[in-house]
């Protein structure tokens, strides 16, 4: 069964360092998302991406965050200068249609620990 | 503001003891309500999407129903492997899903 894959599964970094989280969405999907989940809290929307541009972003997704689809398969989330409060599980997701019209599939997540 | 509230926060069941999880929502124009299962340290695993009041979907021991204000996830004769956190999320008029805090289900043999 096709799945969303994410790397790394766990990354530890020092505050102020840049981090890139990588995702390979399901191959025929057109919409891509990043969500995050701070330990013990809700899953929160960060950004959606369609047709090589951001279609929506949340208040969390400030200038420190960026997304890119550098080739036909990868989808990346970059955090330019990490803060302690960026420590969370980051989930990539993809769907054939815009979320809500069909199924949204999540990857296993990348755990980011900022020290 | 779109909002999702799940109850109870935690539920302990004996194997075979059926029960229901509740998801109450307020959203301006529901375009879909989602149920996911999440195991510790893992990503949400898609279970169901419901689109309109009165709709029902089933998968093995799980059945999801939807009204205009809430959704229920019914678990019939649960097994220990059904132990997980069950997440409800809604899609309103934007790209994003709004998630609830989840119900942590433990099923004991």
Of B43, B96, B102, the CB nearest to A45: B96
Whether residues B97 and A42 touch (CB distance < 8 A) is answered with no
Nearest to A102 by CA among A29, A45, A47: A29
pLDDT tier for residue A104 given thresholds of 50, 70 and 90: confident
> Could you check whether the bond before residue B8 is cis, i.e. omega within 30 degrees of 0?
yes
Distance separating alpha carbons of residues A78 and A69, to the nearest angstrom: 11
Q: Would an 8 Å CB–CB cutoff place A108 in contact with chain B?
A: yes
CA angle A16, A20, A25 (to 5 degrees): 155
Whether residues B96 and A58 touch (CB distance < 8 A) is answered with yes
Distance separating alpha carbons of residues B82 and B98, to the nearest angstrom: 24
Contacts of A33 in chain B (CB under 8 A): 95-96
Percentage of chain A beyond pLDDT 70 is 96
Range with the poorest average pLDDT among B1-5, B56-60, B86-90:
B1-5
pLDDT of residue A96: 86
Q: Would an 8 Å CB–CB cutoff place B108 in contact with chain A?
A: no
Q: Which residues pair with B3 in a beta bridge?
A: B26
pLDDT tens column, A1-50: 779 999 999 999 999 999 999 999 998 898 999 999 999 899 999 999 99
Distance separating alpha carbons of residues A9 and A109, to the nearest angstrom: 6
As a whole number, mean pLDDT of residues A72-87 equals 94
Q: Would an 8 Å CB–CB cutoff place A111 in contact with chain B?
A: yes
pLDDT of residue A93: 94
Q: Would an 8 Å CB–CB cutoff place B50 in contact with chain A?
A: no
Contacts of A100 in chain B (CB under 8 A): 31-32, 49, 91-92, 97
pLDDT tens column, B59-108: 999 999 999 999 999 999 999 999 999 999 998 878 889 999 999 999 99
Q: Residue A78: phi, psi to the nearest 5?
A: -115, 135
Instruction: Give residues 21 to 40 of B whose Cβ lies within 8 Å of A.
Output: 31-32, 34, 36
Q: Sort B22 into a burial class: Cβ within 10 Å, 0-12 / 13-18 / 19+.
A: middle
pLDDT tens column, B9-39: 999 999 999 999 999 999 888 889 999 999 9
Whether residues A43 and B89 touch (CB distance < 8 A) is answered with yes
Give residue A42's Cα distance to chain centre: 15
């Amino acid at each position: 069964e096709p799945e969303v894959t994410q790397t790394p599964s766990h990354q530890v970094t020092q505050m102020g360092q840049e981090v890139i989280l990588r995702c390979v969405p399901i191959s025929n999907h057109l919409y891509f998302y990043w969500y995050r989940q701070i330990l013990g809290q809700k899953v929160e929307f960060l950004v959606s991406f369609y047709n090589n541009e951001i279609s929506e972003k949340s208040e969390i997704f400030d200038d420190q965050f960026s997304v890119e689809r550098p080739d036909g398969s990868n989808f990346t989330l970059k955090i330019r200068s990490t803060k302690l409060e960026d420590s969370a599980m980051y989930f990539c997701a993809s769907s054939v249609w815009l979320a809500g019209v069909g199924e949204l599939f999540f990857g296993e997540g990348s755990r980011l620990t900022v020290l | 503001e779109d909002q999702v509230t799940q109850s109870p926060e935690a539920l302990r069941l004996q194997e075979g003891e059926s029960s229901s999880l509740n998801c109450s929502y307020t959203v301006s124009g529901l375009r879909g309500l989602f149920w996911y299962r999440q195991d510790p340290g893992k990503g949400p695993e898609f279970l169901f999407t419901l689109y309109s009041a009165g709709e029902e979907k089933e998968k093995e021991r799980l059945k999801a129903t939807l009204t205009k204000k809430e959704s229920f996830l019914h678990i019939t004769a649960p097994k220990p492997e059904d132990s997980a956190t069950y997440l409800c999320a809604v899609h309103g008029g934007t790209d994003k899903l709004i998630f609830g805090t989840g119900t942590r289900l433990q099923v004991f043999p």
